[in-house]
Amino acid sequence: MLEVCFPDGETRRYGMGTPTIAIAIHDWSTLRRIALNPDLAMGEAWMEDGLSVEKGDLYGLIALCLENFQNTRVPWLWRLRDRLRMTLRRVTMHNPVSRSRRNVAHHYDLGDDLYDLFLDSERQYSCAYFETPEDSLEDAQVHKMRHIAAKLRVLPGQKVLDIGSGWGGLGTYLAQTSDAPVTGVTLSVDQQKYANEKARRDGLDDRVRFDLRDYRRQTGRFDRIVSVGMFEHVGVGHYGAYFAKLADLLDKDGVALVHTIGSARPPRAPDPWISKYIFPGGYVPSLSEIVPEVERAGLVIADIEVLRLHYAETLKAWRDRFMARREEAAALYDERFCRMWEFYLASCEAGFRYNHLVVFQIQLAHRLDAVPVTRDYIEASKQHLPELSGDVDADIVKREARRTRKVAAE
């Protein structure tokens, strides 16, 4: 049930059942904005303190709205607005290199201190892989890297490209566990600096390098290509160029893996609040938008796995960590920034639980026989990779390289 206290002090109740969420709307202009454009105005109202939650919490409010929205007929004005957004999305998501750099800097170059508040020690800023409900965030992120490494089947000496390499956690993991040279590319100045420093700290700078480069300007051929949490920033109008470039960079016997947030529903317009405040130029694709461009690029889809609810649990862990250190975030930025970040984490978690958001892991190749014909090899490969965050240490480099050679020989 939702209780709403209006600006004149009147309280109205909507629905029945539990839990009860009570909110207060503090001025009529905020109410009008929410009524006309809730996708944008609700987040802005929270940021500006024009809306407050009096009973329950922000996540409970968003979850209640999304869960009930599935059974509600959308008003014609909202439908018209969404059609307009769909029509204009190729314009709003036009991401040439210069704009891509600005979009990346908007979110990822906010300073190391912010991300240290809520990410794991490897700064994995993408969906973790929870093998059990008891997994810690640290271990679930290692499980994710382990899962990806098993699908890639990187052999010692093979050249690996990490497109959108983040803070370098996955790239250094692949180098540690396979004894393979890794090149990472990112458009974030802060991430590139941190990743190269991390490689030096880990004693891997002889085989791992992170470059400040757009993927469209990458050259060479690679045995393995991985891209985690980057495809969401490509833009619908650039999907063909993305997969064509991936096909050009991938060796004829190579294997690639694209890990991206996706929608389990037909294509829809970008979320206006997320686009304006969090990820400008970002978009969550449907599978029907991805597959045709893969086919046009001449690539073979070797495997598609849909991770359901793993990102919801990841975001819950991030939100809990952020809220536990909220005062530190306010000292770094300000109260409005903290309220924006609260809304971002809470709305995204609710989206993965109630708004059909999932994660796609799409394995690609040029050849049908690039990987074994059954999926058994994935679990078999995992047996030779570290299971927990504490298992990743300097000795892994030689030990896992020997094991990988043995598996390849078999």
Burial class, 201, CB count within 10 angstroms (exposed 0-12 / middle 13-18 / buried 19+): exposed
Beta bridge partners of 222: 250
- Tell me, what DSSP letter sits at residue 303? E
348 a catalytic residue: yes
DSSP states of 136-162: -HHHHHHHHHHHHHHHHTPPTT--EEE
Token pair listed for 355: 């708004």
d(CA 245, CA 243): 5
Q: Which of 5, 65, 338, 348 is catalytic?
A: 348
* Residue 167 per-residue DSSP state: T
Q: How far apart are CA 283 and CA 270, in angstroms?
A: 6
- Which tokens hold the place of 112? 């190391």
User: Distances from the Cα of 303 to the Cαs of 75, 120, 364, 365, in angstroms?
Assistant: 39, 28, 7, 10
Q: Which residues contact 211 (CB under 8 A, 6 or more apart)?
A: 183, 184, 185, 186, 192
* Amino acid, res. 63: A
Gap between the Cα atoms of 174 and 168, Å rounded: 10
- Contact of 3 with 9, CB cutoff 8 Å: no
Residues forming the active site: 348
